[in-house]
Structure 1
Amino acid sequence: MPECVVIADDLTGANATGVLLKKMNYNAYTVMNEERIELSSLENCDCVLYPTDSRGVEPDIAYNRVYNVCELLKSEHVKVYANRIDSTLRGNLGSETDAMLDSLGEDYTAIVAPCFPSSGRILLGGYMLVNGQLLHKTDIAIDPKTPVAVSEAEVLFKEQSKYPVSSIYTKDMMKGKHYLADRIKEEIQKGSRIIICDCVTQEDLDLIADAVITSRKKIIAVDPGVFTAALSRKLIKPSEKAEKSRILAVVGSVHPATKGQMEDLWLSQRTHNVFVQTKELLDSKEARDKEIQRVIHEILAESGKNVISTVTGDGIYPENRIDFNYYKSKLNCTMDEVTQIINESFAEIAYQIFKKEDSYKGLYTSGGDITVSVCRRFDTAGLDLLDEVLPLAAYGRLLKGEFEGIHIITKGGSQGQKDAINRCVTYLKEKLYI
Structure 2
Amino acid sequence: MPELVVVADDLSGASEAAAAFLLRTTRISVLLRSGVPSTSSRVVAVDSDSRGSSPADAADRVKSALDSCAGVPVLKKVDSLLRGNLASEVAALRDLLGVLPVVATALPAAGRVVVDGVLRVHGVPLHDTRLWHAEERAVPRTVAHALSPIETVPVPLAAVRDGVGALARLLAAAASARLLAVCDAETDADLDVVHAAARLVTDRPLLVGSAGLAAAAARAMAPDPQWRAEPLPTARSVLVVAGTAAPAIETQLAALAPEADVVVRLDPQLLLNDPSAVGRELAARTADARCAVLSLDGGAGLRPDLAARLTTALADAVAPSAADGRALILTGGATARAVLDRLGVERLRPVAEREQAVLSTTGTGQVVVTRPGSFGGPESLIELVHTVLSWNEEPR
In structure 1, the partner of 2:157 is 170
d(CA) in 2 for partners of 1:244 and 1:177?
29
Q: Do the aligned partners of 1:140 and 1:148 also contact (CA within 8 Å) in 2? A: no
In structure 2, the partner of 1:203 is 189
Q: Do the aligned partners of 1:4 and 1:232 also contact (CA within 8 Å) in 2? A: no
In structure 1, the partner of 2:2 is 2
List 4+ stretches of structure 1 deviating above 6 A.
430-434
**SS state of the match for residue 49, structure 1?**
strand
Q: CA deviation at 1:128?
A: 0.6
In structure 2, the partner of 1:24 is 24
d(CA) in 2 for partners of 1:185 and 1:432?
46
In structure 1, the partner of 2:84 is 91
In structure 2, the partner of 1:158 is 148
Structure with more helix by fraction: 1
TM-score, scaled relative to structure 2: 0.55
d(CA) in 2 for partners of 1:206 and 1:51?
24
Q: Do the aligned partners of 1:29 and 1:48 also contact (CA within 8 Å) in 2? A: yes
The answer as to 2:66 corresponding to 1:70 is yes
Unpaired runs of at least 5, structure 1: 247-388, 390-429
Q: CA deviation at 1:86?
A: 0.4
The answer as to 2:10 corresponding to 1:14 is no
TM-score, scaled relative to structure 1: 0.51
Q: Which residue of 99, 108, 119 maps to 1:128?
A: 119
In structure 1, the partner of 2:202 is 216
Percent of pairs identical after alignment? Answer: 26
Q: Do the aligned partners of 1:26 and 1:47 also contact (CA within 8 Å) in 2? A: no
d(CA) in 1 for partners of 2:148 and 2:206?
17
Q: CA deviation at 1:148?
A: 4.4
Q: Which residue of 20, 32, 39 maps to 1:43?
A: 39
Q: Do the aligned partners of 1:199 and 1:205 also contact (CA within 8 Å) in 2? A: yes
Task: Name the aligned partner's letter for residue 134 of structure 1.
Answer: P
Q: Do the aligned partners of 1:14 and 1:84 also contact (CA within 8 Å) in 2? A: yes
The structure whose Rg is larger is 1
In structure 1, the partner of 2:33 is 33
d(CA) in 2 for partners of 1:232 and 1:182?
23
d(CA) in 1 for partners of 2:117 and 2:228?
42
Task: Name the aligned partner's letter for residue 210 of structure 1.
Answer: A
CA RMSD between the two structures: 2.4
In structure 1, the partner of 2:100 is 109
d(CA) in 2 for partners of 1:120 and 1:50?
26
In structure 1, the partner of 2:219 is 233
d(CA) in 1 for partners of 2:145 and 2:76?
18
Question: Aligned runs of 1:245-260 on 2, under 5 Å?
Answer: 245=228
Q: Do the aligned partners of 1:142 and 1:148 also contact (CA within 8 Å) in 2? A: no
d(CA) in 2 for partners of 1:63 and 1:30?
20
Alignment deviations for residues 325-357 of structure 1 (CA, whole Å, 9 cap, x no partner): xxxxxxxxxxxxxxxxxxxxxxxxxxxxxxxxx
Task: Name the aligned partner's letter for residue 164 of structure 2.
Answer: K
Aligned residues: 235
d(CA) in 2 for partners of 1:140 and 1:191?
32
Q: Do the aligned partners of 1:6 and 1:49 also contact (CA within 8 Å) in 2? A: yes
Q: CA deviation at 1:238?
A: 4.1
d(CA) in 2 for partners of 1:138 and 1:56?
21
In structure 2, the partner of 1:298 is none
Unpaired runs of at least 5, structure 2: 230-353, 355-391
In structure 2, the partner of 1:259 is none
Q: Do the aligned partners of 1:67 and 1:100 also contact (CA within 8 Å) in 2? A: yes
**SS state of the match for residue 191, structure 2?**
helix
d(CA) in 1 for partners of 2:62 and 2:118?
26
